[in-house]
Chain A
Amino acid sequence: MRIDQHPIISFSKGKKVKFSFDGKEYEGYEDEPIAASLHAAGIRVLGHSHKLNRPRGFYCAIGNCSSCLMVVNGEPNVRICVEKLKEGMVVETQIGKGDLK
């Protein structure tokens, strides 16, 4: 959910870009963190725990807690709370520890 009206902040946003998440197309703003674009689209389950596969969300926003790891353009373990959104990115849910191709 985007905040449209704010009493003291005017948000500077990049241009609108399209990206895919688990095969479905979404829109976000260029250079915002991927997690922000997903959040705005109502997607709050990001990573999963390795052992019990429990869903994990957005926790630290500084690339520190590993709660938001996803596969981005084929690369696993990307911290999407700090990775910037680009046109045409392919974002996927990661199950397990991920494989490097």
Chain B
Amino acid sequence: MKHTEIVVIGGGPAGLSAAINAASCGAKVMVIDRNSQLGGQLVKQTHMFFGSQKQYASVRGIDIAGILTAELLKYQDNVEILKDTTVIGLYDDGVLTVEKDGKYLKINPESIIVTAGASEKFLTFPNNDLPGIYGAGAVQTLMNVYGVAPGNSVVMVGAGNIGLIVSYQLMQAGIKVKAIIDAAPRIGGYLVHASKIRRMGVPIKTSCSVKYAHGKDKLEKVTVWKLDEKWQPIPGSEEDIEADVMCISVGLSPLAELLWQIGCDMKFIPELGGHVPMRNEELQTNIKGIYVAGDVAGVEEASSAMVEGRLAGLCAAKNLGHASKDFDTLKKDYLEQLDSLRSGPVGEKIRKGLNQLVV
């Protein structure tokens, strides 16, 4: 059995930020990630970030992963990193079990920060399991990390930020985007992205959904149709689009299995992607010593995930007796940064969701 003060589950933007802050306060930290590279989904994000300078605005996601990893290594005396390691259980007595290189290990930490992230949602329509239908994030990984094109012509389903950004990146890689469709009457993502894509000649069809995917063992054609103001399909409005790729970008849902297993109070909040854990202002759940940050605590953007990670790391360390001398100032700053990221019409949904969750 290994022992440490704080285990951080997941080395994405939230987890790295949490580990940096906890280790810089003097806590012994172990970061566990199932991938062989730290950074989580930042590694495929070749676009520049929004937000303010504190959340690395104008820096590409892929470079933020490197910046955070370098910052973490400044505290290497306090940090142990387990890559290619999957957490498989969290138990009542505080023991955490992991699989690494085919071996089963037990770890006994004093606190745990769960930053497991989220996975892509599916969409229901006939033949939605045909090869050629991908999660938009998966296509981003395939082309931006491994340099492999998913196919030749694409229908993007979802005009949120991920749908818009991945469409742009597909075109950067020389792949034709036939159309972006969205069931909502309005484009969900930033209009600056949408305008850029429209200028490149890609139609964005709102109030439009997938009726049918055609093909035998791979996608060949997509039938879309218009929706009325009650989101019901309008017969006769069908349109066929020839495409060998369809990307599904209809949101993410938190990877909350470990939180369920340990018995965290969970609540279903659609605005945050599904079932999410109740927590206090310091991001501690109803179980003492179990903290959450990032998409697993409610799906938002990487910018807010990083700030939440900083906050959870700071507070988890303090509650184990490693209080930063600037604790109050830093905590106030993180809370203000989160408020600012969630301000305005774009953050309205997030604010509404969080209001039901923070105790």
Cα(A27)–Cα(B131), bound, Å: 22
Residues of chain B within 8 A (CB-CB) of A49 are: 129
**Is the beta-carbon distance between B131 and A33 smaller than 8 angstroms?**
no
Complex: chain A residue closest to B34, CB-CB:
A63
Query: B355 interface residue, CB < 8 Å from A?
Result: no
Query: A24 interface residue, CB < 8 Å from B?
Result: no
Cα(A55)–Cα(B128), bound, Å: 11
Q: How far is the CB of B151 from chain A (nearest CB, A)?
A: 8
Residues of chain A within 8 A (CB-CB) of B142 are: 35-36, 39, 58, 61
Q: State whether A9 and B129 are in contact (beta carbons under 8 Å apart), knowing that A39-B150, A57-B134, A63-B34 are contacts in the complex.
A: no
Query: B132 interface residue, CB < 8 Å from A?
Result: yes
Query: B119 interface residue, CB < 8 Å from A?
Result: yes
Residues of chain B within 8 A (CB-CB) of A73 are: none
Task: Report the interface size for chain B: residues with CB under 8 A from the other chain.
Answer: 34
Cα(A36)–Cα(B140), bound, Å: 12
Residues of chain A within 8 A (CB-CB) of B152 are: 1
Cα(A36)–Cα(B130), bound, Å: 18
Residues of chain B within 8 A (CB-CB) of A55 are: 130-131, 217-218
Q: How far is the CB of B6 from chain A (nearest CB, A)?
A: 24
**Is the beta-carbon distance between A3 and B148 smaller than 8 angstroms?**
yes
**Is the beta-carbon distance between A56 and B131 smaller than 8 angstroms?**
yes
**Is the beta-carbon distance between A3 and B149 smaller than 8 angstroms?**
yes
Complex: chain B residue closest to A10, CB-CB:
B147
Q: Find B146's partner among A7, A36, A46 (CB 8 Å cutoff).
A: A36
Cα(A67)–Cα(B122), bound, Å: 12
Residues of chain A within 8 A (CB-CB) of B143 are: 3
Tell me what chain B mostly uses at the interface: helix, strand, loop, or mixed.
loop
**Is the beta-carbon distance between B147 and A9 smaller than 8 angstroms?**
yes
Return the CB mask of A49-90 against B: 1 if under 8 Å, else 0: 100001111111111110100000000000001101000000
Q: State whether A45 and B147 are in contact (beta carbons under 8 Å apart), knowing that A57-B131, A58-B131 are contacts in the complex.
A: no
Complex: chain A residue closest to B60, CB-CB:
A8
Q: State whether A7 and B172 are in contact (beta carbons under 8 Å apart), knowing that A45-B218, A59-B138, A61-B141 are contacts in the complex.
A: yes
Return the CB mask of A11-37 against B: 1 if under 8 Å, else 0: 101000000000000000000110110
Residues of chain B within 8 A (CB-CB) of A5 are: 174
Residues of chain A within 8 A (CB-CB) of B46 are: 8-9
Task: Report the interface size for chain A: residues with CB under 8 A from the other chain.
Answer: 36
**Is the beta-carbon distance between B146 and A33 smaller than 8 angstroms?**
yes
Cα(A82)–Cα(B83), bound, Å: 13
Q: How far is the CB of B104 from chain A (nearest CB, A)?
A: 17
Residues of chain B within 8 A (CB-CB) of A95 are: none
Query: A2 interface residue, CB < 8 Å from B?
Result: yes
**Is the beta-carbon distance between A61 and B131 smaller than 8 angstroms?**
no
**Is the beta-carbon distance between B138 and A56 smaller than 8 angstroms?**
no
Residues of chain B within 8 A (CB-CB) of A39 are: 142, 148, 150
Query: B120 interface residue, CB < 8 Å from A?
Result: yes
**Is the beta-carbon distance between B149 and A2 smaller than 8 angstroms?**
yes
Q: State whether A32 and B146 are in contact (beta carbons under 8 Å apart), knowing that A3-B173, A59-B138, A61-B138 are contacts in the complex.
A: yes
Complex: chain A residue closest to B173, CB-CB:
A3
**Is the beta-carbon distance between B138 and A45 smaller than 8 angstroms?**
no
Query: B135 interface residue, CB < 8 Å from A?
Result: yes
Cα(A13)–Cα(B217), bound, Å: 30
Q: State whether A2 and B147 are in contact (beta carbons under 8 Å apart), knowing that A49-B129, A58-B142, A61-B137 are contacts in the complex.
A: yes
Residues of chain B within 8 A (CB-CB) of A6 are: 147, 172-173
Cα(A81)–Cα(B150), bound, Å: 13
**Is the beta-carbon distance between A11 and B129 smaller than 8 angstroms?**
no
A–B Cβ pairs within 8 angstroms, 25 of them:
A1-B149, A1-B151, A7-B172, A32-B146, A44-B131, A44-B218, A49-B129, A54-B129, A55-B131, A55-B218, A56-B129, A57-B133, A57-B134, A58-B131, A58-B134, A59-B133, A60-B137, A60-B138, A61-B138, A61-B141, A62-B41, A62-B137, A64-B119, A65-B119, A82-B34
Q: A2-B148, A9-B147, A11-B147 are in contact. List 12 more A-B contacts (CB 8 A).
A: A6-B147, A6-B172, A13-B147, A36-B148, A45-B217, A45-B218, A55-B218, A57-B218, A58-B150, A60-B120, A62-B141, A84-B36
Shortest 4 CB-CB contacts between residues of A and residues of B: A57-B131, A61-B138, A11-B147, A61-B141
